C-alpha cells in the first residue's frame, strides 16, 4: 500500500524526530571524561536525573535558577559518573540522607580543591530538596544531602559566617525510596565517611554493614 505524499512526509518527519531523540538520549547517557572540559558543562534551566539504588529508584528535578553554581556542579558530577557506586553513608531517619564521597581515586584527585563559591538561598529546605554539604565558606564540592522533612532552619542557619544551605534540586518521584535507606547508624558514620576516599567502599561497609548504595545516576531529560 502506497502512502499519500503528505502522509509520507509526516511519517518521515516523525521518524527523523524519534531518531534525534534517541541520539540525544544516548549522548546524555554516555559518561563524560573527567577533565577540564567537564567544567564547561552547563546544566539546563531544568533537568531531571534518575538515581538507581539498592532500595529502588527515585527522580530529582534540578532547578538552575535556585543555584546556578550548584546545579552546574551537580550536572557535571552526574555526567562524569562521579555518583555511581556511592554509599549512602549517613542516613538519619526522618531528617536527612547524605552521600557524595567516591572511592574513585582519579576522580577525587580531579575534584580536589575545585570547590564552588557560596550562593544566596533562593529555594527553601523543604522535604525532598537536595543541597551540597559545606563547612567553611566556599567549600561546596561533591557531597550533598537530601532533606527527609522540612528543615526550614537550614535556610538561614549561619555556619562559619555563611548563611544557609542552598537547595538546587528536589525529588519529584520516589521520595519513599529515599526514606527507606538503612538508617540504624544515624550520625555515627559521619566521622568515617572521608576514609572512603582512601580505603574504598569495602572498608566502610565492613565497618558499617547494611549501608545502601547508589548504583548509578543518569540524566533523563
DSSP letter for each residue of 83-121? TTTEE--EEETTTEEEE-----HHHHHHHTT--B-----
Segment (H or E) for 194: none
Mean pLDDT, the chain, integer: 90
Percentage of the chain modeled with pLDDT above 70: 86
d(CA 41, CA 139): 20
Confidence class for position 19, pLDDT limits 50, 70, 90? very low
Give the strand pairing for 46-53 and 129-132. unpaired
Percentage of the chain modeled with pLDDT above 90: 84
d(CA 22, CA 52): 21
pLDDT at 20 over 50: no
Amino acid at each position: 500500500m502506497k502512502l499519500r505524499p503528505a502522509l509520507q512526509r509526516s511519517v518521515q518527519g516523525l521518524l527523523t524526530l524519534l531518531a534525534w531523540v534517541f541520539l540525544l538520549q544516548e549522548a546524555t547517557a554516555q559518561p563524560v571524561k573527567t577533565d577540564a572540559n567537564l567544567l564547561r558543562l552547563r546544566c539546563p534551566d531544568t533537568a531531571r536525573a534518575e538515581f538507581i539504588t539498592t532500595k529502588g529508584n527515585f527522580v530529582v528535578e534540578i532547578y538552575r535558577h535556585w543555584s546556578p553554581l550548584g546545579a552546574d556542579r551537580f550536572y557535571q558530577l552526574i555526567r562524569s559518573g562521579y555518583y555511581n557506586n556511592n554509599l549512602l553513608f549517613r542516613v538519619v531517619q526522618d531528617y536527612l540522607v547524605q552521600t557524595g564521597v567516591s572511592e574513585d581515586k582519579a576522580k577525587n584527585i580531579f575534584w580536589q580543591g575545585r570547590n564552588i563559591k557560596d550562593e544566596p538561598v533562593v529555594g527553601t529546605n523543604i522535604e525532598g530538596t537536595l543541597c551540597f554539604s559545606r563547612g567553611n565558606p566556599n567549600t561546596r564540592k561533591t557531597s550533598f544531602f537530601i532533606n527527609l522533612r522540612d528543615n526550614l532552619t537550614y535556610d538561614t542557619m549561619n555556619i562559619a559566617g555563611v548563611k544557609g544551605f542552598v537547595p538546587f534540586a528536589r525529588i519529584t518521584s520516589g521520595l519513599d525510596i529515599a526514606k527507606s535507606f538503612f538508617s540504624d547508624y544515624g550520625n555515627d558514620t559521619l566521622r568515617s565517611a572521608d576514609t572512603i576516599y582512601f580505603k574504598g567502599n569495602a572498608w566502610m561497609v565492613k565497618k558499617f554493614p547494611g549501608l545502601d548504595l547508589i548504583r548509578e545516576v543518569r540524566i533523563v531529560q
